Amino acid sequence: MSFLEYAPAPESRAILSLRDRYGLFIDGEFVDGRGTPFQTISPANEERIAEIASANAEDVADAVAAARRAYERVWSKMSGRDRGKYLFRIARLVQERARELAVAESLDNGKPIKESRDVDVPLVAAWFFYYAGWADKLDHAGLGADPRALGVAGQVIPWNFPLLMLAWKIAPALAAGNTVVLKPAETTPLTALLFAEILQQAELPAGVVNIVTGAGETGAALVAADVDKVAFTGSTGVGRAIAKQVAGTQKKVTLELGGKAANIVFDDAPIDQAIEGIVNGIFFNQGHVCCAGSRLLVQESIHDEVVDRLKQRLSTLRLGDPLDKNTDIGAINSAAQLARIRELSDVGVAEGAERWSAPCELPAEGFWFAPTIFTGVETSHRIAREEVFGPVLSVLSFRTPQEAIAKANNTPYGLSAGIWSDKGSRILAVADQLRAGVIWANTFNRFDPASPFGGYKESGYGREGGRHGLGAYLAPAASRSARAARAVEASAAPAAKTRPAAKADAEAKPAPAKRSRRTSKSAEKGAAK
Amino acid sequence: MSRLTVPKTYKLFIGGAFPRSESGRTYEVTSASGGFLANAAKASRKDARDAVVAARGAVAGWAGATAYNRGQVLYRIAELLEGRRAQFVAEIEEAEGVSRAAAGAQVDEAIDRWVWYAGWADKFAQVAGNANPVAGPYFNLSVPEPTGVVAIVAPQDSALLGLVSAVAPALVAGNAVVVVASERFPLSAISLAEVLATSDVPKGVVNVLTGSPAEIAPWLASHADVNALDLVGAGALDWIDLEIAAADTLKRVHRPEQGADAAAPSLERIVGFTETKTVWHTKSLR
């Protein structure tokens, strides 16, 4: 009997007391949505968990109006000290209900309970605890004395770390004095709704946080609504669309988008730790991580050894029931994501890379994908360029540090990177050259509320975490941009062709005008040719 | 007895050289009173793309220079500008039609802004970056790094000060710049390029295009090798379209500003063209 055979140790679902249906959380209460409700399922067995309301554009407008009222009447008038106390309360309530949240997260998302229990939920509490302390210290946030909140923040989050991404968004927004409308991902709304109950227990004033569930259209409606700040975490494609949507407005934007991180292993690396770090880098959370180390760059002299040891290690990973405490690899979050991973893996084979998958039995129900390594990958292969967002590692090799740097930077993304070496001077020199926002040296996938996180290039802009993450929700007291905006407005008023700093209610109508302008311009270009 | 003057041919400034526009086009620049001043080069799409190539090639060296060195180079610009003060005053007086005193004040302020920004080069990282007390055995540091190639539409209502105010902060952190000068007042921009060419600024770090911002800016906004777009002087253009074009490669976009406050000196303008890099390193006695 191998050590891989073990008695299942599932975490009990009895800790959950879920409702059969969940409404939208608007102005402190659960209300019905006007869109068509949808079911949220467990990706591990496709069983229904609960029915979730869907917010249409009117519901979103209601939520934004509630947030606006709460901002103007309550939250912007409250002292930083009291705002901080609410955040401390929330942090404590999250800790008190930690196990319940972890079980709900693993159930709805498919991630192993040991990750939701030991990583996601503790970090959620830490995030609120960290930003709670900032609320009455904003003068030290780096924007000068008396920085001001932006107003209402519209926040759209992904399904890979549902509750953690909620915390990344809500905690700094509230600490800085903003109110919030948040849209969780369609496939993972559950913990956000449990969080709404926590807000009720914390007696957070009504409307300060509103949660609207739904699909992509709900998110698009939120971005288009009368909000002052848009924060989005998700795919680069959607991020690009949001950047276009907010063009010409005064909305401040933070985008945390895709990545294709290089994890660089030099031949002097501490190899045991490196193997664990590579595994953690790409197989943590089934590879559903925007900063995942999906491109392994191994120095040529140790390539074969590293690949052999990786295969050995992956053969010992336990894939299965996310609620089982022994599980290392959980379920793929959705059928759509599974299809994407399969498609790109097939492309990998078709383009000539060599595929190896860990020999594990996949459950019959649910969405599953075995940990997979591609060797012989070339920089032009799609699996070396596109984000797979699954448990798929592409292995490339290099000879010199310069080559490693060039290959690592050969991507439109720039979110994260890893460096494994025992030579400190080389680590720092390589770290200097990598165009990525987060660099882990001799570790990977570490997160902390005190540490800024965010990308270069097409991985987005703005930072979350730390002092920098707070600044994303603040403006200087006498904002340069606000002054300039007024100036532009004043001077552009007579010129019909320039749309000045749009105040929110003007947002809906300029779209056709914009389109017609663009059309006329491309016509001119055509004529010029 | 009056001497016959020797007028200057104003060209573009790309990669440290002064080429004419590859298109062969020029446009007439007149004084405030309508008199002929010069035929300035009218940059084309190809010129803009050449400028981006030159800027990209210059980023690594400029960003890799020590902050102390960048500070000295920027200070050197101020020194040389001071030496040619009379030339700039005369140019501005003629082009903008302002008094000698006003032109002098503009040049003085431009010089002083170079000095102010020069002093930031080896300090802004200490203000914009910090150590992070993470909950674990890690050394964790956040530092600002240059965004890369920054395309700028310079303020259109001044000959020198607007241009300097937009270009200098982008250079502090180590970015390379492609700037579209004021369409109406392009001559001082090219004179400034002559100062840059002789003040230890590496080739390609600043590239100056003259001509029509409305024509050139869209090519820069949509160029995949441009990392950031400063629309400070684009208020009169279809700048929303420029912002939309820039979104295709998720460029960092700074929206138009106008009036006396446009591109006012600020740390924000330096940090606005940086990316925060956070490095985690394990700590261990073993």
What span, in angstroms and rounded, lies between the C-alpha atoms of A402 and A13? 51
Nearest chain A residue to B141 by CA distance is A451
Give A-chain residues touching B142 at CB under 8 angstroms: 451-452, 466, 468
CA A438 to chain B, closest CA, distance in angstroms equals 5
Give residues with Cβ within 8 angstroms of A457, minimum separation 6.
A412, A413, A414, A435, B227, B249, B250
Tens of pLDDT, residues A465-508: 999 999 999 999 875 444 444 444 444 444 433 333 333 333 33
What span, in angstroms and rounded, lies between the C-alpha atoms of A185 and A187? 6
Mean pLDDT of chain A: 91
Specify if A16 maps to a domain. no
Nearest chain B residue to A524 by CA distance is B215
Q: Are A450 and B247 an interchain contact pair (Cβ–Cβ within 8 Å)? A: no
Q: How many CB atoms lie within 10 A of CB A348?
A: 23
With contact defined as beta carbons under 8 Å apart, do A356 and A372 qualify?
yes
CA A301 to chain B, closest CA, distance in angstroms equals 24
With contact defined as beta carbons under 8 Å apart, do B206 and B179 qualify?
yes
What span, in angstroms and rounded, lies between the C-alpha atoms of A431 and A438? 9
> Cα B256 from chain centroid?
15
Same-domain status, A231 and A86:
yes
Note the pLDDT of residue B286: 77
Rounded mean pLDDT of A370-375? 98
What span, in angstroms and rounded, lies between the C-alpha atoms of A403 and A421? 16
Instruction: Please tell me if residue B235 touches chain A, with a CB cutoff of 8 Å.
Output: yes
Domain ranges of chain B: 26-282
Specify if A510 maps to a domain. yes
Q: Is A79 exposed, middle or buried (0-12, 13-18, 19+ CB in 10 A)?
A: exposed
* Annotation marks residue A360 as catalytic: no
Note the pLDDT of residue A62: 98
Note the pLDDT of residue B1: 64
Note the pLDDT of residue B258: 83
Same-domain status, A435 and A318:
yes
Tens of pLDDT, residues B100-122: 999 999 999 999 999 999 999 99
With contact defined as beta carbons under 8 Å apart, do A338 and A332 qualify?
yes
Same-domain status, A350 and A431:
yes
Closest C-alpha to A99, from A194, A213, A210: A194
The arrangement of strands across the sheet holding B206-209 comes to B206-209, B176-180, B149-153, B228-230, B252-254
Answer yes or no: is pLDDT of A179 > 90.
yes
Of chain B, the percentage scoring pLDDT greater than 90 comes to 97
Cα angle: B217, vertex A504, A225; to 5 degrees: 105
Look up the CATH number of the domain holding residue A80.
3.40.605.10
Give A-chain residues touching B131 at CB under 8 angstroms: none
With contact defined as beta carbons under 8 Å apart, do A69 and A152 qualify?
no
Mutate to test the interface with A, among B141, B278, B282 (most CBs of A within 10 A): B278
Same-domain status, A155 and A272:
no
With contact defined as beta carbons under 8 Å apart, do A290 and A259 qualify?
yes
What span, in angstroms and rounded, lies between the C-alpha atoms of A424 and A522? 53
What span, in angstroms and rounded, lies between the C-alpha atoms of A230 and A60? 14
Same-domain status, A401 and A500:
no
Note the pLDDT of residue A518: 36
Closest C-alpha to A481, from B162, B232, B175: B232
Specify if A8 maps to a domain. no
Helix (H, G, I), strand (E, B) or coil at A310: helix
Same-domain status, A272 and A211:
no
Rounded mean pLDDT of A170-192? 98
Give residues with Cβ within 8 angstroms of A208, minimum separation 6.
A67, A70, A71, A74, A75, A174, A179, A180, A199
Give B-chain residues touching A517 at CB under 8 angstroms: 238, 241
Please report where in the chains the tokens 């940990």 appear, as a residue.
A371
Rounded mean pLDDT of A410-424? 97
Same-domain status, A342 and A275:
yes
Mutate to test the interface with A, among B229, B254, B258, B273 (most CBs of A within 10 A): B258
Give residues with Cβ within 8 angstroms of A464, minimum separation 6.
A168, A169, A172, A231, A254, A256, A452, A453, A454, A472
Same-domain status, A238 and A283:
no
Same-domain status, A304 and A419:
yes
Tens of pLDDT, residues A102-137: 999 999 999 999 999 999 999 999 999 999 999 999
Specify if A485 maps to a domain. no
Nearest chain B residue to A257 by CA distance is B250
Structural domains counted in chain A: 3
Strand B130-131 to strand B138-146: parallel, antiparallel, or no bridges (unpaired)? antiparallel
What span, in angstroms and rounded, lies between the C-alpha atoms of A318 and A305? 23
Q: Which domain holds residue A204?
A: 22-37+48-139+146-257+466-475
How many residue contacts between A and B have a Cβ separation below 8 Å?
153
What span, in angstroms and rounded, lies between the C-alpha atoms of A241 and A335? 24
Structure tokens given for B204: 């390609």
Structure tokens given for A152: 């209402």
Q: Are A487 and B138 an interchain contact pair (Cβ–Cβ within 8 Å)? A: no
With contact defined as beta carbons under 8 Å apart, do A370 and A317 qualify?
no
The arrangement of strands across the sheet holding A152-156 comes to A29-31, A24-26, A209-211, A179-183, A152-156, A229-233, A252-256, A460-461
Q: Are A458 and B240 an interchain contact pair (Cβ–Cβ within 8 Å)? A: no
Phi, psi angles (nearest 5°) of residue A153: -105, 130
Q: Would you place residue A26 in the very low, low, confident or very high pLDDT band (cuts 50, 70, 90)?
A: very high
Same-domain status, A228 and A284:
no
Nearest to A468 among B133, B243, B276 (CB): B276
Specify if A12 maps to a domain. no
* Annotation marks residue A256 as catalytic: yes
Give residues with Cβ within 8 angstroms of A317, minimum separation 6.
A279, A283, A328, A329, A358, A360, A371
Give B-chain residues touching A466 at CB under 8 angstroms: 130, 132, 142, 278
Which ipTM did the prediction report?
0.94
Ramachandran area for residue A123 (φ above 0: left; ψ -120 to 50: alpha; else beta): alpha
Give me the CATH code for the B26-282 domain, please: 3.40.605.10
What span, in angstroms and rounded, lies between the C-alpha atoms of B36 and B59? 38
Tens of pLDDT, residues A279-334: 999 999 999 999 999 999 999 999 999 999 999 999 999 999 999 999 999 999 99
Give A-chain residues touching B255 at CB under 8 angstroms: 481, 484-485, 488, 501
DSSP state of A73: I
Strand B252-254 to strand B228-230: parallel, antiparallel, or no bridges (unpaired)? parallel
The one-digit pLDDT tens for each residue of chain B (286 residues) are 689 999 999 999 999 999 999 999 999 999 999 999 999 999 999 999 999 999 999 999 999 999 999 999 999 999 999 999 999 999 999 999 999 999 999 999 999 999 999 999 999 999 999 999 999 999 999 999 999 999 999 999 999 999 999 999 999 999 999 999 999 999 999 999 999 999 999 999 999 999 999 999 999 999 999 999 999 999 999 999 999 999 999 999 999 998 878 899 999 999 999 999 999 999 999 7
